[in-house]
Amino acid sequence: MSPEQLLALDARHVWHPFTQAAAARPPILAASAKGASITAADGRTYLDLVSSWWVNLHGHGHPAIAAAIAQQAATMEQVIFADFTHAPAAELAARVAALLPGDLDRVFYSDDGSTAVEVAMKLSLQFWSNRGIAGRDLFVGFEGGYHGDTVGAMSAGHSSGFFSAWKGMLFPVETVPFPATWDGDDAVAAKEAASLDALDRLFAAKPGRVAAVLIEPLIQGAGGMRMCRPAFLAALAERVRAEGALLIFDEVMTGFGRTGPIFACQKAGIVPDLVCLSKGLTGGFLAMALTVAREEIYREFLGPDLDRAFLHGHSYTANPLGCAAGLASLDLLLSDACSARRAAIEAIHRARLDDLATRADISRTRLCGTIAAFDVGGSGGSGYGAAIGPRLKAAAFDRGLLLRPLGNVLYLLPPYCLSDEELHRAWDGIGQILAELAG
C-alpha cells in the first residue's frame, strides 16, 4: 500500500490522542526507527528528542531488547497471571525491588502509568479499611499535577486543566501549591514554606482524614516540566509521616534514570509507601506498569477472607514479553556506558541552557538529570494552550527535530543513546527557531 493510501486510511479511521484533528497538521507516516531517529515514508528523518512520549530509554529498535522479546515470544507469549507466575515476571519484580530503597518489595503489575496510579490509590484506601480505620478516605495532590487519564488519576490531577469535560465524574481531591523552581530562583524557599504550610493547615483542618498524598517527585511532567528541590520532598515526607498518611510517588516519567539516579526517590533520600512506574520500564517496546508497595502495606491484604485481598487486575498483567523487555532494558540501564551517556547529556544540557539564559525571550531555565526545560516568551499567553506552542513544534519538525512543547514550555527528554553531536545539533536548531520567532 502506498504512503498516500495509508495516510488516507489514517485520516478516515484513526483518532489520534491529545490532538485537535480539525487544526492539526497531517500526521507523519513513520516507516522505521533506529537509535535516536525516526525515518518517515518520504525519507525524511526526525531526531526524537522526547523519547516518543518519554518511553524510549535506549533508542528505537535496540537489538538487545528486540532479541529478548523474540526469544520470549518463541517460548511463551502470555499466561493468565492470577493462577500462574513465570520467570520474567518474578525476576523483573525482584530486580526492580532491589533497586528501590527501603522495603519497597511488593510489585503489582498493570498496563500503563494511569493504571499504576489507579492501583496505588485503590491500595491506599483498602489499606486503611483492612486495618479497620474508618474515615481515611481523602487524597491530597499538588496544583498542576498530572497522573493519567483514568478516573482516579484524573481526580488526583484535576488541577492540571486537562479534565474539565469530565469534572462531574471526578471525586474530590485536595490540592496544595507546588513550589516550582528554576535556575536563579530567589523565592524558592518562600514557595516551599507556603506549600508546606498549606499542607499543615489541611492536616489540621481534617485530622485523620488523609489516606495518601500523591506527588510527581522532582518534576511535574505534563504540567510543564515544573521542578522542585529534593529538600522540599524530604520535608513533605516528614509531614506526611507525622500525619500518619501514606506517601505515593508517581515516578511514571521520572523513573529509570531520568532525574540522574535510577529513581527520583533516591535523589531525595526518601522511601515512599508506594511508587508508580511505567513509561521507560520496557525501554519503549511494550506497555507495562508497576505499582511497588512497602511490605507493611502488602501484609494488610493477607487473611482468610477474599474480601481482604486486592481484587484488581488486567488481562495482560505481567505479560511475559513486556517482562522480558524490562529485564533487557534494566541490563542496559545499569551499564557503565548508559551512566556515562546520561551524565554527558546532563552536562551538555547545562552548558546550552546557560547559553540561552541571556536571551530576553527565554526565562526559567531548569534542569534535572537528562531533562532540560525553559519558558519561551512572546504574545499568546502561557500554559498548555499557549499560541506559541504549535509554532515551536512546526518549526522543529521543519528542521527534522521531534519536539512537543507543553504550551510555551520547550523541553528536551531524549533517549540515552543520543550522541553529543546529535544533542548539539538539536540545541543549535532550537537556537535558530528562537531567533526566527523573535524576528
The answer on 224 and 274 residing in a single domain is yes
The answer to whether residues 152 and 185 belong to one domain is yes
> What three-state secondary structure class fits 429?
helix
- pLDDT, the chain, mean: 96
At 162, is the pLDDT very low, low, confident or very high (cuts 50, 70, 90)?
A: confident
Give the span between the Cα atoms of 192 and 72, in whole angstroms. Answer: 48
Average of pLDDT values for 205-233?
98
Q: Is 416 annotated as a binding residue?
A: no
Same-domain status, 226 and 85:
yes
Asked if residue 114 belongs to a known ligand binding site, the reply is yes
What does the alpha-carbon distance between residue 137 and residue 211 come to, in Å, rounded to a whole number? 5
How many residues make up the chain in this entry?
439
Residue 371 and residue 397 in one domain = yes
User: Average pLDDT, stretch 216-227?
Assistant: 97
Query: Are both 182 and 264 inside the same structural domain?
Result: yes
How large is the average pLDDT for residues 190-202?
A: 98
What CATH code is carried by the domain that includes residue 128? Answer: 3.40.640.10
Which residue, 304, 333, 362, sits at the end of a domain?
Answer: 333
HSE of 44, CA atoms in CB hemisphere, 13 A: 11
> Residue holding cell 527528554?
413
Assess whether 324 and 340 both reside in one domain: no
Which of the listed residues 333, 361, 391 is the one where a domain comes to its end?
333
d(Cα 313, Cα 302) in Å, to the nearest integer? 17
Q: Is 314 assigned to a binding site? A: yes
Residues 96 and 201 occupy one common structural domain: yes
365 with 412, same domain? Answer: yes
Indicate if 324 and 419 belong to the same structural domain. no
Task: Find out whether 248 and 270 touch, Cβ atoms under 8 Å.
Answer: no
Asked if residue 380 has pLDDT above 80, the reply is no
113 among annotated binding-site residues = yes
Average confidence (pLDDT) over 229-238: 98
What CATH number is given to the structural domain containing 13?
3.90.1150.10
Position 381 scores a pLDDT of: 61
- Report the pLDDT value the prediction gives residue 383, as an integer from 0 to 100: 78
Determine what percent of the chain is predicted with pLDDT higher than 70.
99
Q: Is 258 annotated as a binding residue?
A: no
Bridge partner list, 409:
375, 406
> How many domains does the chain divide into?
2
pLDDT of 104 reads 98
| Residue where a domain stops, chosen among 333, 348, 376 | 333
The answer on whether 124 is annotated among ligand-binding residues is no
What the block records as the C-alpha cell of 224 is: 510543564
Q: How crowded is the C-beta side of 273, counted as CA atoms within 13 Å?
A: 26
CA distance 293 to 110: 14
pLDDT tens digits for range 364-374? 999 999 999 99
Is residue 222 pLDDT above 70, yes or no?
Answer: yes
146 is in an annotated binding site: yes
| Residues 108/143/224/157 CA torsion (nearest 10 deg) | 40
| Residue 392, pLDDT score | 95
Whether residues 275 and 135 share a domain: the answer is yes
Reported as a single tens digit per residue, the pLDDT across 289-343 is: 999 999 999 999 999 999 999 999 999 999 999 999 999 999 999 999 999 999 9
Residue in the structure block whose three cell numbers are 519503549? 284
48 is in an annotated binding site: no
Q: What is the rounded CA–CA span in Å between residue 356 and residue 192?
A: 27
Would the annotation count 349 as a binding residue? no
Mean pLDDT confidence for 129-157 = 96
pTM over the 0.95 mark: yes
Residue 382 marked ligand-binding = no
Query: Do 147 and 223 have their domain in common?
Result: yes
Full residue range of the structural domain in which residue 225 is found? 65-333
Instruction: Give the whole-angstrom CA distance, residue 322 versus residue 65.
Output: 10
Q: Smallest Cα–Cα separation from 268: which of 222, 237, 224, 297?
A: 237
pLDDT value at 345 more than 90: yes
**Hey, what amino acid is at 51?**
S
In this structure, the answer to whether residues 383 and 305 fall within a common structural domain is no
Check pLDDT > 90 for residue 193.
yes
DSSP 131: T
Half-sphere exposure of 269 (CA within 13 A, CB side): 7
CA dihedral 311, 315, 321, 327 (to 10 degrees): -20
Task: Retrieve residue 118's grid coordinates.
Answer: 489507579
Return the pLDDT at 378: 63
